[in-house]
Amino acid sequence: MRRRVGVWLFGARGSVATTTIAGAAALNHGSPPAGVVTELPAFASAGLVPLDQLVFGGHDVVGTPLLKQVERLVAGGVLPVGLDALITAELAEADRNIKVVPDSAAGQDAVVRRMAEDIGAFRLRNDLSHVVAINVASTEAPYDVQVAGPAELRTALGEREVLPASSLGALAAFEAGAAYVDFTPSTSIRPVAVREWAIEKGLPYGGQDAKTGETLVKSILAPMFAARALPVHAWSGTNLLGGGDGATLADPRAAESKSISKERALAELLGDVAGDVHIDYVDPMGEWKTAWDHVLFSGFLGVRMTLQFTWQGCDSALAAPLVLDLARLSALALERGHVGAMPFLGFYFKDPIESTEHSLVRQYDELVRWVHSC
């Protein structure tokens, strides 16, 4: 019996979502699966849903057709020349599965209900065995959630504004029986009440804040200093980025969410280390991102040494294959009846849920072990 998995994207017309949807189509047309971890041999026998059985839908606040977004990404060097013409049909199909975020005037409980209905309809219409909802919307500012448990939350939702948009999306996913993964550092599943809601529904959740650039490199490099007993005195970083993500992070409150995620890994890997992390919005960078990091450490008898790195990448192109991975892996968790946090996905995140392991290699090994654990 054929098994199809739905991938419901919050922020479904943004750069990451567009690259994910266009990329999945390109893979079905024969592109090699660069960056898709679950296509590595280590995952071959795991029984993951095939990539061509993923069906895309989602919510967004804007209505720009995906084709238009794809053309923009082709011109920006993110997607290959000629791809737009090749995958017009797939883009049109996904367009039909993308709904506008409901108006918040009717109250937050109504928003959750309406979004859950959208997800449910998507499941029925496409005959899906499972749905995984993934938040790839813009980073929100930190939000102070005041409710303690699911019961209190349920009441409060009908009365006043108690949650930010990302958390409403998470609740909608759970109401619709979907797994939920937060690709961003937004509030979403941070509140205990939201997590307990998932557990009551018997569903898994994961996140947060995918590591695709500077933090990815940090999480591979920092263990070197630890293993070699080289004291790191200062780790300084500057991130230059344009595009939608850059513009969002030009808002200092959203940048705050991001910076907190970014710094957690280093602190847990190396302890207390001096140095700032800057996130600069540089509009002419377009979809591209450059990170420069400077690590000051000492060797034997205190002699000072440095390691610097410069990372130049395209965030959407780094993120999109990970979205495909997370969809497949969360679908597997659903099939296995996993309930609650998915710490075995820590490999993907700056701020891994219920995990303090930040060494990329150990996170990878943990993921592979989980995949083969049943």
Closest CB to a second copy among 160 and 228? Answer: 228
Smallest distance, Å, CB 43 to a second copy?
Answer: 10
Over the range 226-250, which residues count as b (16 or more CB within 10 Å of their CB) and which as e? eeeebebeebbbbbbbbbbbbebbe
- Segment 297 to 336, residues that bind a second copy, using CB under 8 A: 298-314, 317-318, 320-321
Q: How far is the CB of 324 from a second copy (least distance, A)?
A: 9
Kind of pairing between the strands at 130-135 and 179-182 = parallel
Query: Which residue type, as a one-letter code, is found at position 171?
Result: L
* Identity of the residue, 122 or 344, whose beta carbon is nearer to a second copy in the bound complex: 344
Contact yes or no for 205/329 (Cβ under 8 A): no
Minimum separation from the CB atom of position 96 to a second copy (A): 23
| Consecutive H or E run containing 218 | helix 214-227
Cα–Cα distances in angstroms (integers) from residue 57 to residues 7, 95, 125, 259, in the given order: 6, 8, 11, 30
Cα 16 from chain centroid (whole Å): 9
Residues touching a second copy, count (CB under 8 A): 77
Site for a second copy in 33-52 (CB under 8 A): 33-37, 39-40
- Exposed, middle or buried, 120 (CB in 10 Å: 0-12/13-18/19+)? middle
What is the three-class DSSP state of 240? Answer: strand
- Min. distance of Cβ 85 from a second copy in angstroms? 12
Please identify, among the stretches 48-56, 127-135, 151-159, 288-296, the one whose residues bind a second copy according to the rule CB under 8 A.
288-296
Among the listed residues 47, 50, 65, 80, the single contact to a second copy using CB under 8 A = 80
Provide the minimum distance between the beta carbon of 240 and a second copy in the complex, in angstroms, as a whole number.
Answer: 5
Q: Is residue 268 a contact residue for a second copy (CB under 8 A)?
A: no
Q: How far is the CB of 100 from a second copy (least distance, A)?
A: 27
Judged by CB under 8 A, the stretch of 45-53, 138-146, 185-193, 231-239 that binds a second copy is 231-239
